[in-house]
């Protein structure tokens, strides 16, 4: 386990303490113990970071390079992430409470792949020549916006940093990045990697500290052109509203409450595996988790029995053990929140099939919990718990399944388990979500675009679509002289 880690701010190519010297303890969710501390920035530090980012953009050290030149640096970043993969994996595991299995196999490789993917796209960005009836020649270009404010959450610090930084940098922007206050460690390592890869000074700036004060300053700063935000729906709505008021761009990827529709013709073993993956991955701290199980009535009893038998065998415990699948929640505060949802669900008439009480093992551990018997208007059905809690409802018809799936204010990710692919395609078209998995859950890659509908956000991450958030289109119309007689 990491011990006595000290991180600093990274502003204008320099590592520095905060302007008032403040620092904040970093705890590991695995034990609740202190593992180090991080610089606790002030709004003055935010202003310095934005000024550095703006100056770097205007100098053109990065923004004026060709896509191929920027790609070379992004490829070096990907290579250094792989070279330092164990350091990153351990830091992410200890800081977030993720089992080391996942940080080694999922988080770190995905971050490297993301920079590599956008390195390829950086070399292919181009405008268009368009036919027009005007007596003119018309073409369009896509241009970088300037300074991007990237605000990332605690559950996937490295992956979600990469998903914002890579496309923003690929097209020539400069960035001010603020990770979640509870999980700053991998961002500090990533900043060192960006520096070592040759990113010019001021192009990337790291601010660590409290969310409300620093996040608000980044959002409101007049020299920040666009905000890329992943986090809660409540905070995201405020960010989007403020950006609208200020006339700046915004991309929000917010909460989810995904429905997993299991039809009677599904392969039950495969459905059980997908269902468990859907709600226990990352200890349920996954905005695209499948936490509402909608099962066709005739399959309800055998599926529930199979789940009840399988879930206790999913390894939970030591995050340093490669066999562990479920780690702790991020904090005592968050554990209390999750357990509060479960207690209120029971009070509302729900029945606990498995789990339901915090584990007495040190750290912030909560077992996979399955609840049946709740009505569709129950809080645990309608709201995002953000923990390993699964509610179960039944349906009799395809129409009823679709109506239940679409009945919450969220629309980020959903799943369909069926042996009838034509039916899956028909239903997928009607589900109100930005990403649909069929006969599986959680398969992601830098090429797989995702994002929300309704209260789950307005933007898209991954794929070429993400680049649209970080650029603006410019049209150029050149008048042509009249043709001589």
Which pTM value belongs to this model? Answer: 0.95
CA distances from 129 to 77, 141, 144, 427, 478 (A): 33, 9, 19, 38, 12
Give residue for tokens 């018997």.
Answer: 373
Residue 159 — φ and ψ, nearest 5°? -60, -45
Selecting among 116, 384, 432, 461, the annotated active-site residue is 461
Q: Which helix (H) or strand (E) holds 95?
A: helix 85-96
Residue from 287, 296, 384, 432 carrying the catalytic annotation: 287
- Residue 1 is predicted with a pLDDT of 60
- Tokens coding 363: 């750290």
Catalytic residue among 98, 164, 178, 248: 164
Q: Is 87 one of the catalytic residues?
A: no
Catalytic residue from among 253, 296, 384, 432: 253
Retrieve residue 420's tokens: 């009838």
Q: How far is CA 52 from each of CA 48, 177, 238, rounded to the nearest angstrom?
A: 6, 13, 26
Two tokens, residue 190? 């990533």
Task: Walk me through the domains of the chain, giving residue ranges and CATH numbers.
Answer: 5-254+457-474 (3.40.605.10), 258-438 (3.40.309.10)
Reading the chain (485 residues) residue by residue, the pLDDT tens digits are 677 899 999 999 999 999 999 999 999 999 999 999 999 999 999 999 999 999 999 999 999 999 999 999 999 999 999 999 999 999 999 999 999 999 999 999 999 999 999 999 999 887 888 899 998 989 999 999 999 999 999 999 999 999 999 999 999 999 999 999 999 999 999 999 999 999 999 999 999 999 889 999 999 999 999 999 999 999 999 999 999 999 999 999 999 999 999 999 999 999 999 999 999 999 999 999 999 999 999 999 999 999 999 999 999 999 999 999 999 999 999 999 999 999 999 999 999 999 999 998 889 999 999 999 999 999 999 999 999 999 999 999 999 999 999 999 999 999 999 999 999 999 999 999 999 999 999 999 999 999 999 999 999 999 999 999 999 999 999 999 876 66
Query: Does 400 participate in catalysis according to the annotation?
Result: no
pLDDT attached to residue 485: 63
Query: Is 342 exposed, middle or buried (CB count within 10 Å of its CB: 0-12, 13-18, 19+)?
Result: buried
148 contact partners, CB below 8 Å, separation of at least 6? 164, 168, 173, 174, 175, 176, 224, 225, 226, 227, 228, 470
The verdict on whether 253 is a catalytic residue reads yes
């Amino acid at each position: 386990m990491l011990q006595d880690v000290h991180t600093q701010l990274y502003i204008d190519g320099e590592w520095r303490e905060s302007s008032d010297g403040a620092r904040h303890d970093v705890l590991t969710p695995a034990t609740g113990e202190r593992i180090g501390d991080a610089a606790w920035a002030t709004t003055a530090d935010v202003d310095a970071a934005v000024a550095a980012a703006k100056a770097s953009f205007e100098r053109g050290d990065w923004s004026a390079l060709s896509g191929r030149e920027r790609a070379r640096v992004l490829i070096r970043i990907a290579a250094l992430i792989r070279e330092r993969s164990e350091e990153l994996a351990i830091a992410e595991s200890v800081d977030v409470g993720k089992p080391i299995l996942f940080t080694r196999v999922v988080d770190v490789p995905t971050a490297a792949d993301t920079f590599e993917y956008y390195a390829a796209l950086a070399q292919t960005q181009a405008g268009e020549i368009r036919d027009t009836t005007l007596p003119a020649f018309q073409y369009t270009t896509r241009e970088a916006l300037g300074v991007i404010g990237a605000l990332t959450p605690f559950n996937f610090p490295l992956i979600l940093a990469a998903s914002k930084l890579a496309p923003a940098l690929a097209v020539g922007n400069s960035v001010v990045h603020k990770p979640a206050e509870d999980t700053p460690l991998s961002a500090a390592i990533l900043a060192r990697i960006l520096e070592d890869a040759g990113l010019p000074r001021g192009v990337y700036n790291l601010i660590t500290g409290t969310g409300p004060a620093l996040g608000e300053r980044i959002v409101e700063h007049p020299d920040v052109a666009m905000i890329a935000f992943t986090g809660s729906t409540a905070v995201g709505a405020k960010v989007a509203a403020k950006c609208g008021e200020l006339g700046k761009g915004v991309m929000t990827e917010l909460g989810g409450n995904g429905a997993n529709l299991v039809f009677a013709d599904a392969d039950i073993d495969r459905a059980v595996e997908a269902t468990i993956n859907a709600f226990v991955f990352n200890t349920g701290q996954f905005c695209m988790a499948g936490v509402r199980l909608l099962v066709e009535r005739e399959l309800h009893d055998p599926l529930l029995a199979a789940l009840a038998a399988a879930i206790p065998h999913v390894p939970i415990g030591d995050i340093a053990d490669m066999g562990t699948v479920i780690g702790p929640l991020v904090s005592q505060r968050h554990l209390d929140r999750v357990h509060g949802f479960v207690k209120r669900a029971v009070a509302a008439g729900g029945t606990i099939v498995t789990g339901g009480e915090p584990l007495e093992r040190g750290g912030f551990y909560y077992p996979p919990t399955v609840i049946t018997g709740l009505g569709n208007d129950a809080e645990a059905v309608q709201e995002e718990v953000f923990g390993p809690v699964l509610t179960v409802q039944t349906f009799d018809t395809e129409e009823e399944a679709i109506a239940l799936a679409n009945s919450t204010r969220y629309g980020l990710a959903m799943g369909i388990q069926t042996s009838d692919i034509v039916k899956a395609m028909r239903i997928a078209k009607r589900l109100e979500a930005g990403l649909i998995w069929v006969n599986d859950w959680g398969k992601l890659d830098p090429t797989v675009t995702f994002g929300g509908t309704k209260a789950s956000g307005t933007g898209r991450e991954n794929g070429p679509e993400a680049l649209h958030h970080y650029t603006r289109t410019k049209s150029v119309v050149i008048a042509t002289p009249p043709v001589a007689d």
